[in-house]
Amino acid sequence: MSPEKTATNIPPSRLIVPALGITQILAWGSSFYLPAVLAKPIAEDMGWPLTWVVAGLSLGLLIAGLISPLVGRRIQELGGRPVLIASAILLAAGFTVLALAPNLPVFIAGWAIMGLGMGAGLYIAAFSTLGRIYGLAARQHITTLTLFGGFASTICWPLSAFFLSELGWRGTCGAYAALQILVALPIYLIALKGPVVSAPSVAEPSTSDTWVQLDITRHRGLFLLLTACIMIASMLSSVISVYLLTLLRSRGLTLVSAVALGALVGPSQVGARFLEMLVSRYHHPIWTKIASVCLVAIGLLLLWIDIPLVSICLVCYGAGIGLESIARATLPLALFGAADYAPIMGRLARPSLIAQAATPTIGALLIQSMGPEGMLGAATLLSLLNVALVGAVFLRVGAARRQAAGLSIA
């Protein structure tokens, strides 16, 4: 089948992207961001240790990481529709178990089910679905989808607080179970209805087309470097998100001031993603990745050396992690092509999600042993290491490009 004919069978992005955007807001906001609102009320109501209540999310992320390669393979074989439908059902089942949990073991089991739903329904699955449908042209759609995802906490934190005040924590979990069945599931059933399609030959007109696409089996070293870069970025995002207020308070800021400054991170993420959406067709995603790691490193370094304008630190950091969400999805697509994009994304996701599950605990140990400043220093050094690793990725991609072009390589 010719590329032109294949393209006519592809569902319109104006339907698919907003549909996935709504479900991503709901999936992220009701799972990853849930403990921020509910953990303390649950611990107080049930008398469970707060660390164990929060550990449920870590378990969920661990399970999501373990199943991510399987999720990628299933999306490659079957398309995203059945996997995303399963995610809505699993998340609803997990929320139902949480809502009815009579004791801590059952509560933790609910998070295990949630982890299956998270693995099948968060960014990796959504990005892989877009790659499966739109091929190389998915880059712009992935960028747009991250704009939706950036509002997950903005929308769902107040929603969770409202449910909590009106329904209690059990009712909140029940409400989110209902939203998965009544909102997310119908969206997946309707918006993704149609034949399983694949469009690896459909590419956007862009300067990125001048970059060679690599055979992953011949460039395993590059793939491992990219995996390490993405994993470190995930660790930094996780630990700073959890302990940002602690770090700001350690500088003598009041809780109100720390919260106000911390609120700059979200808009900075969305703003950076919006700018990337406007200019993405003019550059290769490697430059997005470079900008991301450099901005994160600058933000953390400035915060570590204690410059007076904390807002500048947080804007740089927020913009960096906002671009990271785009780069981790679009760079593998540009480097390795669309044919095996979903399985590649699944393989990339496993170490990152596992690291995210462990990072809050590691951060707590660092704070206990070295204090908040010591933990921030470790995070800053890790961010500088990531800049070096991304530089190595850039050099290896350039070398592969010159080799493909038949040029000599020093």
Count structural domains, the chain. Answer: 2
Domain boundary among 139, 159, 191: 191
Mean pLDDT, rounded, of the chain: 85
179 and 226 part of one domain = no
In a domain, residue 202? The reply is no
Mean pLDDT of 212-240: 86
**pLDDT band (50, 70, 90) for residue 407:** very low
241 and 177 part of one domain = no
170 and 282 part of one domain = no
350: left (phi over 0), alpha (psi -120 to 50) or beta: alpha
pLDDT at 338: 81
pLDDT at 195: 54
The larger pLDDT score, comparing residue 58 to residue 217, is at 58
CA-CA distance, 107 to 94, in Å (whole number)? 9
pLDDT at 208: 44
**Domain span including residue 314:** 207-404
**pLDDT band (50, 70, 90) for residue 408:** very low
Domain boundary among 191, 217, 235: 191
216 and 258 part of one domain = yes
242 and 391 part of one domain = yes
Q: Which of 125-129, 210-214, 296-300, 369-373 has the lowest mean pLDDT?
A: 210-214
Domain boundary among 191, 215, 247: 191
The answer on pLDDT for 196 being more than 50 is yes
In a domain, residue 201? The reply is no
Name, in order, each residue with C-beta under 8 angstroms of 16's C-beta and a sequence gap of 6 or more: 130, 133, 141, 191, 192
Distances (CA, A) of 109 to 60, 97, 293, 346: 10, 8, 36, 24
162 and 234 part of one domain = no
9 and 35 part of one domain = yes
For the record, the structure tokens of 144 come out as: 């747009």
Q: Which of 72-81, 100-109, 257-266 has the lowest mean pLDDT?
A: 257-266
pLDDT at 293: 96
Tell me the per-residue pLDDT of 253-293, one tens digit each, with 9 for 90 and over: 887 888 788 778 888 988 999 999 888 888 889 999 999 99
What 233-236 contacts at long range (C-beta under 8 Å, 24+ apart), as own/partner pairs, is 233/292, 233/293, 233/296, 233/321, 233/324, 233/328, 233/352, 233/386, 234/352, 234/353, 234/355, 234/356, 234/359, 235/355, 235/356, 235/359, 235/382, 236/296, 236/300, 236/321, 236/379, 236/382, 236/383, 236/386
**pLDDT band (50, 70, 90) for residue 202:** very low
242 and 153 part of one domain = no
In a domain, residue 349? The reply is yes
Tell me the per-residue pLDDT of 323-378, one tens digit each, with 9 for 90 and over: 998 999 899 988 888 888 888 888 998 999 898 888 888 888 888 888 888 989 99
Number of H helices, E strands in the chain: 16, 0
In a domain, residue 50? The reply is yes
156 and 249 part of one domain = no
In a domain, residue 200? The reply is no
The answer on pLDDT for 107 being more than 70 is yes
143 and 239 part of one domain = no
In a domain, residue 409? The reply is no
Tell me the per-residue pLDDT of 134-177, one tens digit each, with 9 for 90 and over: 887 888 888 888 888 878 877 888 898 899 999 999 999 999 99
Query: Which CATH number fits the domain that encloses residue 93?
Result: 1.20.1250.20
In a domain, residue 339? The reply is yes
167 and 257 part of one domain = no
In a domain, residue 315? The reply is yes
Mean pLDDT of 51-76: 90
pLDDT at 405: 61
Tell me the per-residue pLDDT of 179-195, one tens digit each, with 9 for 90 and over: 999 999 999 999 887 65
Mean pLDDT of 72-91: 92
241 and 309 part of one domain = yes
The answer on pLDDT for 8 being more than 50 is no
